[in-house]
Structure 1
């Protein structure tokens, strides 16, 4: 599995968010990658939905609280990462 990446939809961002898009994407990606590695290392056969929740919780732990509060990843994409962890990829 390749490392997950976070890409923000520029059409859904306000003017300030658009100016900060690249650094925000980098921060979110870094947090998601750290959460993915943590989850991969501790995976012990949990259901995919549980792994999805672990990924989301751990990603938010790596973010500033204000950013974490607004982070709403695409569930289908998060599930793909969880499925890859569950499959041992």
Structure 2
């Protein structure tokens, strides 16, 4: 089972985002985990790059549009989650 976690870099956050950092990380982590579960359940042999793209699309679909628009995950970490899905299936 993939257990992703989103951690925001405090040096990139404005003061309002910094105040909301913990709940925002929780929301992003929850959306990414739900996306990983859905993508993993639907996995049918797609390459890692496609799985990573699906993860990003599914994660953004699970977020408020304003948050989804600003969500730019570390591509290496997204790929790591995608590789775990491919490996587990």
TM-score surpassing 0.5?
yes
User: What does residue 34 of structure 2 align with?
Assistant: 34
With normalisation by structure 1, the TM-score equals 0.96
User: Structure 1 segments of 4 or more deviating over 3 A?
Assistant: none
Alignment pair present for 1:17 and 2:25: no
Look up the SS of the partner of 1:87 in the other structure. Answer: helix
Unaligned runs of 5+ in 1: none
Unaligned runs of 5+ in 2: none
C-alpha RMSD of matched pairs (Å): 1.0
Aligned residues: 89
Structure-2 change in CA distance of 1:2 and 1:48 (3 Å): closer
User: What does residue 63 of structure 2 align with?
Assistant: 63
Q: Partners of 1:83 and 1:23 in 2: how far apart?
A: 27
Q: Partners of 1:2 and 1:68 in 2: how far apart?
A: 21
User: What does residue 85 of structure 1 align with?
Assistant: 85
Q: 1:60-82 CA distances to partner (integer Å, 9 max, x unpaired)? A: 01000000000000000000000
